[in-house]
Structure 1
Amino acid sequence: MSRLTRRRALRTLAVPALAAALALPLLAPPAQAQAGRNVRLLVGFPAGGGSDVIARLLAEKLKDELGGANVIVENKPGAGGQLAAQALKSAPADGSTFFVTHDHTVSILPLVVKTPGFDTAHDFVPVAGFATFANAWAVSGGTPAKSMAEYVAWVKNAGGGKGAVGIPAPASVPEFLVRLVAEKYKLDLVAAPYRGSAPMMADMLGNQIGAGLGSVPDFIDNHRHGKLRVVAVMGDKRQAQLPDVPTLAELGLPGFEDLPFYGVFAPAGTPRPVTDAFSAALAKVVALPDVKERLTAMGLSVGHVPGAQFGAKERAYSAAWAKVIKASGFVPQ
């Protein structure tokens, strides 16, 4: 073999070897890929709310699955999670930042806000889904109502048909449900938006507002302790944690059987091996008996959904609600 031929052969061998070496950090197991790094979990709602509690539970366990990485929950409340979503869009696509969110921010906000500052399909990568949940209608302890029918009667008698219903964010699924419930029962109900479920719950527990519409995880503990009462839930069946509470369909409001979800997103451009590694770590975490038990007790139906499948679910959910929102006559603000 001539000297020139040998040089060409060495270059040919070196190219794939170099490519393999560069890929090693991305293809390494999660424990190796994340060891010694800071990993941020963005949350779009205040501390103490359902999303925050869930994220902190996951962060505690993800630390071990990511090889001792320092997993930090970073709350960026405001505008229904919009600020956190914008922060994710501008974050580096290197596996250091993820967004723990529910459907409102990624699926509903782009439908109701003219300029949300992000595009879910183009700015984010779906990493994994890990739970679904039902929205619920709850009445404050200061009201005498123990059912939706009794709540409707109370509003008509005590409020002359007028009432306010707390919601965790403006132009959210709960707001559209308030509109539909008001229409069905011929009530003049106003959706009162809060900056997350925690301040809404504070006003409900203080009897500052007669009813609230949020997720089952927001209400479940106080319902069990008799501080408020859940009187209706979304979904195609009753919730295991609330077997005596009817669904909206049972009350004559069908069309809300597709349940909202919780999932994780990363900035667009995050390498697939990185998101797959995080998804695998998350799958292990939500399968842990103590984690599953705690999430289930909060009213979640737990189950890991891989990134591609989760992305398809989010797109279908968004398309379905686009029809509902358009039919309501709502004009994006």
Structure 2
Amino acid sequence: MVSPQSRRVLSALRNALAVSALLLAGMAQAQTGPIRLLVGFPPGGGTDVIARTLAEKLKDQLGSTVIVENRAGAGGQIAAQALKAAPADGTTFFLSHDHTVSILPLVTKNPGFDPAKDFVAVAGFATFVNALAVSGGTPARSVNDYVAWVRGQGAGKGTVGVPAPASVPEFLVKLIGEKYKLDLQAAPYRGSAPMMADMLGNQIGAGVGSVPDFIENHKAGKIRVVAVLGGARQAALPDVPTFAELGLAGFEDVPYYGVFAPSGTPKAAIERFSEAVAKVIAMPDVRDRLTAMGLTVGYMPPQQLASREHAYAQTWARIIKASGFQAQ
């Protein structure tokens, strides 16, 4: 016979279990809701393609629809500000390369966000290199050809597209001009897609951007990548020399791609998304596609990505200061 006290204990236990079941059901429902993956550049560019490649697979790992949301403009600044303003509940993430997170705060007086305070690292998944590419309308097949072509245009003046103002590519244009004694002017675009459109239309003779920005049209013969940065030639472009081989050394610390979340996002949500990224980039089809785009695929857990971002920002802070550039 069950005593009244035991019945009260059992009743309390049943109530507790019922409440727990409701909480777990609510958590499961929240986890299956849509997840926003912010991208700071227009559709069709390298970063957008990368984001959509991952999002397609992440939905299966997370059990949630992953919606790529393009917040293009200002070199990713608009998307970064949107991330800062987003609720820190595990439903909003930001896929970005180095420019927005590491470089913008160095070249902009009031970017509207502080990565150290407003963001938390989630997962790094690849590194890449920047490159110089020439338009199909130029006769150049090498850097030396391009230098000769610019000099032939009159007084060694040339315009080179870059995907964002005050970006690493813009600083590289200046350094390339100094090395080859050319008067090169950077023409900033709102992302790689419009820059590429002008290169394909021969509206601009050359561009500096990431290998993923150029690789597809290079392989199609519509443009030509003539040199890459980094310490070694790229697997996707084995015949293209590095700038170090050509005498422009000092840029071996390659940029990165990573995912970030608003500061205050629960640790469990960060770990869950980070683990999902690790599983997705380990899939052969995803790895092959990203590698073909010119990325070096490799998982970085949150702390490693945070450390890499900090070190990369410090490296470029020194370069930018030495260049005399003043934050705008």
Provide the TM-score with structure 2 as the length reference. 0.92
The residue that corresponds to 2:40 in the other structure is: 44
Choose the corresponding residue for 1:78, options 65, 73, 81.
73
Q: Counterpart of 1:166 in 2: which secondary structure?
A: strand
Q: Counterpart of 2:251 in 1: which secondary structure?
A: coil
**Counterpart-to-counterpart distance in 1, 2:178 and 2:271:** 45
**Counterpart-to-counterpart distance in 1, 2:132 and 2:152:** 19
Choose the corresponding residue for 1:59, options 55, 61, 74.
55
| Root mean square deviation of aligned Cα | 2.1
Cα offset, 1:159, TM superposition: 3.3
Choose the corresponding residue for 2:312, options 313, 317, 322.
317
**Counterpart-to-counterpart distance in 1, 2:86 and 2:126:** 25
Choose the corresponding residue for 1:122, options 114, 117, 125.
117
Length, aligned pairs only? 314
Q: Counterpart of 1:246 in 2: which secondary structure?
A: coil
Answer yes or no: is the 8 Å Cα contact 1:33–1:66 preserved in 2.
Answer: no
* Correspondence 1:329 to 2:324: yes
Cα offset, 1:160, TM superposition: 2.5
* Correspondence 1:183 to 2:183: no
- Alignment gaps of 5+ in structure 1: 1-5
Q: Counterpart of 2:99 in 1: which secondary structure?
A: helix
Change (3 A) 1:274 1:154: same
Cα offset, 1:60, TM superposition: 0.6
Answer yes or no: is the 8 Å Cα contact 2:32–2:62 preserved in 1.
Answer: no
**Counterpart-to-counterpart distance in 2, 1:119 and 1:276:** 22
* Correspondence 1:164 to 2:172: no
Cα offset, 1:261, TM superposition: 0.6
* Correspondence 1:261 to 2:256: yes
Task: Encode CA deviations 1:199-229: one digit per residue, 9 max, x unaligned.
Answer: 0000000000000000101111111111111
* Correspondence 1:303 to 2:295: no
**Counterpart-to-counterpart distance in 1, 2:150 and 2:38:** 39
Cα offset, 1:33, TM superposition: 7.7
**Counterpart-to-counterpart distance in 2, 1:178 and 1:35:** 45
- Alignment gaps of 5+ in structure 2: none
Cα offset, 1:179, TM superposition: 0.5
**Counterpart-to-counterpart distance in 1, 2:264 and 2:216:** 39
Cα offset, 1:78, TM superposition: 0.3
Cα offset, 1:34, TM superposition: 5.8
Answer yes or no: is the 8 Å Cα contact 1:34–1:66 preserved in 2.
Answer: no
Provide the TM-score with structure 1 as the length reference. 0.90
The residue that corresponds to 2:204 in the other structure is: 209
Structure-to-structure mapping, 1:215-294, within 5 angstroms: 215-294=210-289
The residue that corresponds to 1:3 in the other structure is: none
Q: Which amino acid aligns with 2:259?
A: V
